[in-house]
Amino acid sequence: MTRETLETSIVARIVQHLPRKPAVDRPTDAELIELSPADGWLLAVASDSVCEEIAAGLYAEPWLIGWMAVVSPVSDLAAAGAEILGVSLLMNLPRPLDPAVCEELARGAGDACRSLGTVTLGGDTSVSGELTVGACALGLVRRDRVITRCGAREGDAIYLTGPAGLGNAYALSRLDPSRTPQPLEFRPRPPVELGGLIARHASCTIDTSDGVVAALDELARVSPVGFDVTARPEELLHVQAVQECQRRDLPPWLALVGCHGEFEVLFTVAPQREETFLEASRDQEFEPLRLGRAVARHGVALAWDGAASVLDSGWLRNRAATAAEDPRQYLDDLVDFARKVGQ
């Protein structure tokens, strides 16, 4: 098993030089900042960009680029259980300036904000050699409902807020459109309205912007457990993810492994809280997907058909870190990985 991920190593080298004052000393999807010791709220901040996806050719339409620029940081706030205040946009536009492209970028960002029930909070627009789009999202978290990536214990149930794999299916359709009858629509919407429910009942949480297996791997690195995915692929994957894999004779579970996620929230619930959580979910007309359970054995495993195949999820994440350099080779490497796993 790969012990260290490239992402963790790079972030650690950067952070050591930066002054920080987080309100929580455990890893979270968003940075939490003290506003006033007397009030009951913390400020949640998350930033992200879609530069890699643009470079890899996954996001080509300006409208989708604008949409994803908003969705990416808001997904982190959703996992932190935050109430969204707004999004500040950064757009570096390529020369020569195309007013139609600028308008479509803004329209996509605006549509995403309206879908999520939030607003823009200014930002910055400049001109550069290539298109660069990102955003910073701000929100508020109740002090008594802080939820972090730590806290999973053996026996906890693993849940997901919605079907998995659509992001990876979309990536497959972009990399090899000849096998897709019609372009897949990809408009992920982080479940911001479920943040309070999850924060009240979950033991830890993370978003799946990098895929389900990457999310489970990260949780396993900060908690004394591993995870068994016991739900079969057809039970937890988006129907289009299953279809897209079948067109290419790929095992559907690869849609859990790829690095282009679906921007849902993955979380664990302790056994003694599970029934209360499910009852509260029914009250909100929310049907969470149960993926599996936390186990004493470290690592992430596919555990169906009476066997558990432990994945080298660290290797998968490290390979994903260089996927944008050659997306088709990355896909070939995932296929080779699937053959070795044998599921």
Q: Where are the domains of the chain?
A: 18-143, 147-341
pLDDT tens by residue, 182-192: 878 999 999 99
Distances (CA, A) of 147 to 28, 29, 290, 294, 339: 7, 9, 19, 17, 37
Domain 18-143 has CATH 3.30.1330.10: yes
* Residue 21: strand, helix, or coil: coil
**What does the pLDDT average to over 162-185?**
90
Q: In the numeric block, which tokens belong to residue 13?
A: 């080298």
Q: Determine the topology of domain 147-341 in CATH.
A: Phosphoribosyl-aminoimidazole Synthetase; Chain A, domain 2 (3.90.650)
Identify the pLDDT of residue 1.
58
pLDDT tens by residue, 286-316: 999 999 999 999 999 999 877 788 999 999 9
Cβ atoms within 10 Å, residue 153: 15
**What does the pLDDT average to over 125-131?**
89
Q: Render 162-183 in DSSP notation, one character per residue.
A: S-B-HHHHHHHHHH-GGG-SSP
pLDDT band at 343 (very low <50, low <70, confident <90, very high): low
CB 284 within 8 A of CB 194: yes
Identify the pLDDT of residue 131.
92
pLDDT band at 176 (very low <50, low <70, confident <90, very high): confident
CB 259 within 8 A of CB 7: no
If you average pLDDT over every residue of the chain, what do you get? 92
Distances (CA, A) of 131 to 73, 91, 246, 257, 287: 18, 8, 34, 28, 39
Identify the pLDDT of residue 138.
98
Top mean-pLDDT range of 18-22, 35-39, 92-96, 195-199: 195-199
pLDDT tens by residue, 26-72: 788 899 999 877 788 999 999 999 998 998 889 999 999 999 999 99
**What does the pLDDT average to over 195-220?**
96
Please check the confidence at residue 179 and state whether its pLDDT lies above 90. Answer: no
